[in-house]
Amino acid sequence: MTVALFVPCYIDQLYPDVAIATLELLERLGVDVAYPDGQTCCGQPMANTGCETDTAPVARRLVDLFADFEAVVCPSGSCVSMVRNHYAAYFDPEDAKFQHVTSKTYELCEYLHDVVGVTHLDVKFPHRVSLHQSCHGLRELRLGQSSESMTPRENKVRKLLNLVEGIEWVEPDRPDDCCGFGGTFAVNEADVSAEMGRARIADHCGKGSEVLASADMSCLMHLQGLIRREKNPIQVMHVAQILSGRPLGAA
Amino acid sequence: MLPIVQHPAAAKEFVNDPNRSRWHDQALWFVRSKRDKQAASLPEWEYLRETASGIKTHTIANLSHYLQQFERNATARGAVVHWARDAEHHNEIVLRILRDHKTKRIVKSKSMLTEECGLNHYLEDNGIDVVDTDLGERIVQLRGETPSHIVLPAIHIKKEEVGDTFHKHLGTDEGASDPKYLAEAARGHLRDKFLAGEIGITGVNFAIAETGGLVVCTNEGNADLGTSLPRVHIACMGIEKLLPRQRDLGVFTRLLARSATGQPITSYTSHFNGPRDENSELHIVLVDNGRSRLRESETFRAAMHCIRCGACMNTCPVYRRSGGHSYRATVPGPIGSVLSPTRDQNSYKSLPYACSLCGSCSDVCPVKIPLHHQLLAWRGELVGKKLLPVSKRLSMRCASYLFRFPALFRLVGRVGRFALRVLPRWATHNRLNVWTIARELPEPPKESFHQWHRRHRNH
Amino acid sequence: MKPTLADTDARQGILDRINTKHVDVPPLPDVDVDRVIQFDEPIDKFVEMLAMVGGQAHQVDSQGDVRAVLEEIEVFRTATRIVSLAPESIAGTIDATQIEDPHDLSTVDWTIARGEFMVAENGSIWIDGDTLPHRVLLFIAQYLAIVVPRSQIVSNMHQAYERIENFSARFGVFVSGPSKTADIEQSLVLGAHGCRKLQVFIVGDL
């Protein structure tokens, strides 16, 4: 079975190492991975702005591109949620390609946990780590239990990171408050967005975390921008980088 | 009401005053944490939400039947039921009742509906003195403001400011800011108002179709004091407040206070079945004001489930930082951002975008309104109505083209990364690039993943 | 007040608008009582929750014990204007049934009311309006005591509404703790507009 790697636009252009780490991790776990040429974006920026006619052709392209693969794996909860939960608006519900792609697109941690069933990783990361749970991973893909919800769910991201030797967990006061990225929200509501991000960073830093880890690089791009501006003593890393054995500071 | 401006501009002052916005954020987070504790104490929490949502879906679908059943039963119990088309009509009806009784002194307990209808201003313009008796509402009333939260009307005001207001209006000691002292002063001040009140106006939390009864929930006891002294009680409610059966209250009284303030129930959950006695009157004003139109929308109908608990405000990371007044609407926060554009799309077009789509509101909502999905849906509607600024519309059109042509996408990416590397800082980090006002741009890598992949995996 | 033509039109207009838009009606769900919390020791839970909402519980064997407990409370000892609706427990100093205008009760210090039953999950007590000569008694007294039979308790609000399914009084209220406000900086203050404190007597022989 061949799995397609879907690399979101901003990871491709700005954080290639996250994609490399994802690819290497999947290969090391014996997954047959292909990287279909011609991929760009899931269409989320347009969709979240409400520009449906601008989203439709982008969504169509993605579905056509990935239709022949048995599964699609992507290191971004937000983009996966776009495909899984929001593509219905752009397709005929009977469209076989659409049905296949939306039901077989996985967020990386979800894929490793649910499909591959990873129970062992020969990786060390001897650092104090705190988890930033991205909203879409948490509340749209249910990679864990959001703090508002009383439905018990296991936390797939944390469970995978627990396979890494040496991680010392640091718990922020607020386990899943939004970081304020929100795509175009970060620019539309720049003041509120920055203030939300600062609060997250202060919470994680205040607990002595060295590494703010997340399965969504878009949140981290925003937080990293603030951290570097304000020179906070903390670094960001994508979960794929930690799982694949990158040292501290890879992002 | 403050003039309508776009949310980012309206939020600026509040959010950029860290003392205030962080204090506000903490206060609301504290309330949300109390809610979490109460919700977690009930193993059936999610089952209750599911059931509440089911009851509301049923009721709103069958609304005409339940409204008429309610009217029949309330009338049989001696209440007078009025129907108001819109805010203005509601205000007229209330004024007519007041004039009929030749009264000028009104004690009012909390009602977001009368806020929505602008009743206070209307009555004041007609020479009638309205005293808001909920402490928070009284504070904002004395300050000439509007509530910034539907359950915690004065959450944006610091105790020192309350102290100043009370010093000016109630004669408390100058500089006194102890909440206990201030609340005691308000108690004395409002007791006089209660004793002098000629008519009591209240909101309604739930109206029961099968009994014709009303339920009002308060902690202060103001709705009860305000209706058990005067002979006339006017209860104002939106038509969505109905529940079919009295036993449905079991579900809703368990959810309401826990979601709102993290209390297991409000101090007083009062059930009014008709007027107090043969010599008293109960007037119930059923208000539409856009609700029957909202019901017609498949996408937004579920917003009529709202029981006005305010949990979505407490949890909303944007609301907590920007304050309720930044929404410029009677109901702020996520539910307000869904409801306000149904009234006036142009004035409230920025509200559906005042949201990071984090989804916390949808998970916290006791009646399972898919709030963040509705906010997203609103954006589509607004774009369809050409209410998105042209610059944003165009940038999305450009992005769409870029993403449809991979070669172009790669080229633009390459140029962009190169530019980021070679351009001086002032050219990339400036006020024109909104991203960089508070943040650094990512450090551009030399190659994209696509380039790396070609070099290393030979495809 | 007579409705005007505009009012009648509004009623028809609202109903017409609703009736024009048909919406499929899903069944009305009922709560499965087996899926909701029940307490093995509901009295203990009630006492715990009452304390949480700011009230005080007193468990006494008989009605005759109520007075002694109240006498321990300073604001009761010094009180002169007491309305008792539970004369078997304690006598009052004012006969509220003889008072016509509720405003005349504005200086009542204490009301001793009768509760029908307790709800363990939230520390509330159901008071039937028919037991009140004036409903304002519950809200206007500076202090409130409620006498409730020990045997009368339910675990949750679903059971509570089952018990009052056919209540016919014009008024009824669940009282949970004293009146309170947190409207100033979320600081909890007991004694907003209603009673400042709430004493609940859980009586064995009532």
Position B202 pLDDT exceeds 80: yes
Per-residue model confidence as pLDDT tens digits over B22-77: 999 999 999 999 999 999 999 999 999 999 999 999 999 999 999 999 999 999 99
Please indicate, yes or no, if residue B393 is contained in any of the structural domains.
no
- Share in percent of chain A as helix, strand, coil (round to 5): 50, 10, 40
Please indicate, yes or no, if residue C34 is contained in any of the structural domains.
no
Calculate how close chain C gets to B371, using CA atoms only, in Å.
Answer: 20
Calculate how close chain A gets to B420, using CA atoms only, in Å.
Answer: 11
Residues of B in contact with A148 (CB under 8 A): 36, 39, 315, 360, 363-364
Please indicate, yes or no, if residue B88 is contained in any of the structural domains.
yes
Please indicate, yes or no, if residue C140 is contained in any of the structural domains.
yes
The strand pair at C180-181 and C171-175 is best described as: unpaired
Among B260, B289, B318, the domain-final residue is: B289
Calculate how close chain B gets to C162, using CA atoms only, in Å.
Answer: 7
Write phi, then psi, for A161 (nearest 5 degrees): -65, -25
Calculate how close chain B gets to A7, using CA atoms only, in Å.
Answer: 8
Range(s) of the domain holding residue B250: 42-289
Cα B415 from Cα B90, distance rounded (Å): 61
Looking at the fold, whether B338 and B422 belong to one and the same domain comes out as no
CA B94, B214, C124, C120 dihedral sign is negative
Under an 8 A CB cutoff, do B356 and A181 touch? yes
Query: What is the residue whose two structure tokens read 């407490």?
Result: B314
* Percent above pLDDT 90 for chain A: 98
* Mutate: best of B38, B265, B285, partner C, most C CBs <10 A: B265
A and B in touch (3+ CB pairs within 8 angstroms) = yes
Looking at the fold, whether A7 and A109 belong to one and the same domain comes out as yes
Least confident span in A122-126, C2-6, C179-183: C2-6
What mean pLDDT comes out for the span A191-203?
A: 98
Among A71, A90, A116, the domain-final residue is: A116
Domain containing residue B155: CATH number: 3.40.50.10420
Looking at the fold, whether B227 and B253 belong to one and the same domain comes out as yes
Contact of A50 with B373, CB cutoff 8 Å? no
Q: Which residues, other chains included, contact C95 with Cβ-Cβ below 8 Å and sequence gap of 6+?
A: none
Model pLDDT, residue C44: 98
Looking at the fold, whether B307 and B453 belong to one and the same domain comes out as no
Range(s) of the domain holding residue A8: 2-116
Calculate how close chain B gets to A59, using CA atoms only, in Å.
Answer: 9
By C-alpha distance, which of A148, C104, A130 is closest to B38?
A148
What mean pLDDT comes out for the span B169-173?
A: 97
Residues of A in contact with B15 (CB under 8 A): 191-192, 195
Average pLDDT, chain A: 97
Under an 8 A CB cutoff, do C194 and B155 touch? no
Cα B88 from Cα B97, distance rounded (Å): 14
Model pLDDT, residue B365: 98
Per-residue model confidence as pLDDT tens digits over C116-172: 999 999 999 999 999 999 999 999 999 999 999 999 999 999 999 999 998 889 999
The strand pair at B268-272 and C171-175 is best described as: antiparallel
Model pLDDT, residue B4: 75
Write phi, then psi, for C132 (nearest 5 degrees): -105, 115
DSSP string for residues in B299-313 = TTGGGGG-----HHH
Q: Any long-range contacts for A51-57 (C-beta under 8 Å, 24+ apart)? A: A51/B383, A51/B388, A51/B393, A51/B396, A51/B397, A51/B400, A52/A89, A52/A90, A52/B380, A52/B383, A52/B384, A54/B396, A54/B397, A54/B399, A54/B400, A55/A90, A55/B400, A56/A90, A57/B400, A57/B404
Model pLDDT, residue B252: 98
Position A195 pLDDT exceeds 70: yes
Looking at the fold, whether B156 and B240 belong to one and the same domain comes out as yes
Instruction: Tell me which residue in C19, C156, C193 faces B187 most closely, judged by beta carbons.
Output: C193
Looking at the fold, whether A83 and A141 belong to one and the same domain comes out as no
Under an 8 A CB cutoff, do B396 and A224 touch? no
User: Greater confidence, C206 or B181?
Assistant: B181
Per-residue model confidence as pLDDT tens digits over B330-376: 999 999 999 999 999 999 999 999 999 999 999 999 999 999 999 99
Please indicate, yes or no, if residue C125 is contained in any of the structural domains.
yes
Chains in touch with C (≥3 Cβ pairs < 8 A)? B
For B330, counting Cβ atoms within 10 Å of its Cβ (0-12 exposed, 13-18 middle, 19+ buried), the class is buried
Please indicate, yes or no, if residue C161 is contained in any of the structural domains.
yes
What mean pLDDT comes out for the span A32-42?
A: 96
* Percent above pLDDT 70 for chain C: 99
Please indicate, yes or no, if residue A121 is contained in any of the structural domains.
no
Please indicate, yes or no, if residue A250 is contained in any of the structural domains.
no
Model pLDDT, residue B1: 59
Model pLDDT, residue B166: 98
Model pLDDT, residue B459: 54
Contact of B334 with B355, CB cutoff 8 Å? yes
Looking at the fold, whether A81 and A40 belong to one and the same domain comes out as yes
Cα C9 from Cα B85, distance rounded (Å): 9
- C5–B contact, CB cutoff 8 A: no
Looking at the fold, whether B344 and B438 belong to one and the same domain comes out as no
Instruction: Tell me which residue in A40, A50, A52 faces B409 most closely, judged by beta carbons.
Output: A40
C 87-126 residues inside an 8 A Cβ radius of B = 102-103, 106, 119, 121-124
Please count the residue pairs, one from chain B and one from chain C, whose beta carbons lie less than 8 angstroms apart. 251
Looking at the fold, whether B322 and B352 belong to one and the same domain comes out as yes
A and C in touch (3+ CB pairs within 8 angstroms) = no
Looking at the fold, whether B310 and B283 belong to one and the same domain comes out as no
Under an 8 A CB cutoff, do B246 and C164 touch? yes
What mean pLDDT comes out for the span A101-122?
A: 97
For the record, the structure tokens of A136 come out as 């879409």
Instruction: Tell me which residue in B357, B442, B450 faces A224 most closely, judged by beta carbons.
Output: B442
Instruction: Tell me which residue in C52, C124, C192 faces B135 most closely, judged by beta carbons.
Output: C192
Cα B51 from Cα B66, distance rounded (Å): 18
Domain containing residue C167: CATH number: 3.40.50.10420
Residues of B in contact with A190 (CB under 8 A): 8, 434-435, 437-438
Looking at the fold, whether B322 and B255 belong to one and the same domain comes out as no
Least confident span in A130-144, B308-322, B422-436: B422-436
Model pLDDT, residue B194: 96
Cα A19 from Cα A14, distance rounded (Å): 10
Please indicate, yes or no, if residue B12 is contained in any of the structural domains.
yes
Instruction: Tell me which residue in C14, C134, C168 faces B239 most closely, judged by beta carbons.
Output: C14
Residues of A in contact with B358 (CB under 8 A): 135, 139, 178, 182
Average pLDDT, chain C: 96
Position C1 pLDDT exceeds 70: no
Looking at the fold, whether B134 and B155 belong to one and the same domain comes out as yes
Among B227, B259, B289, the domain-final residue is: B289
Residues of A in contact with B45 (CB under 8 A): 150
Model pLDDT, residue C6: 79
What mean pLDDT comes out for the span B211-224?
A: 97
Q: How many other CB atoms are there within 10 angstroms of residue B23's CB atom? A: 14
CA C155, C156, C162, C166 dihedral sign is positive
What mean pLDDT comes out for the span B425-435?
A: 90
Per-residue model confidence as pLDDT tens digits over C94-124: 999 999 999 999 999 999 999 999 999 999 9
Among A82, A116, A150, the domain-final residue is: A116
Range(s) of the domain holding residue C180: 39-203
pLDDT-based confidence at residue B456 (cuts at 50, 70, 90) = very high
Q: How many domains does chain C have?
A: 1
Closest residue in C to B263 (Cα) is: C53
Looking at the fold, whether B404 and B371 belong to one and the same domain comes out as no
Looking at the fold, whether A106 and A138 belong to one and the same domain comes out as no
Among B240, B262, B289, the domain-final residue is: B289
Q: How many domains does chain A have?
A: 2
Residues of A in contact with B442 (CB under 8 A): 14-15, 221, 224-225
What mean pLDDT comes out for the span B223-252?
A: 97
Q: How many domains does chain B have?
A: 3
Position C2 pLDDT exceeds 90: no
Residues of B in contact with A226 (CB under 8 A): 438-440
For the record, the structure tokens of C108 come out as 């009542």
Cα A167 from Cα A185, distance rounded (Å): 33
For the record, the structure tokens of B54 come out as 């089911």
Closest residue in A to B13 (Cα) is: A191
Cα A206 from Cα B396, distance rounded (Å): 38
Calculate how close chain A gets to B422, using CA atoms only, in Å.
Answer: 16
Please indicate, yes or no, if residue C160 is contained in any of the structural domains.
yes
Looking at this predicted complex, what is its ipTM? 0.97
Looking at the fold, whether B102 and B202 belong to one and the same domain comes out as yes
3-state secondary structure of A34: strand
What mean pLDDT comes out for the span A129-136?
A: 97
Please indicate, yes or no, if residue B248 is contained in any of the structural domains.
yes
Looking at the fold, whether B51 and B37 belong to one and the same domain comes out as no
Domain containing residue A228: CATH number: 3.40.50
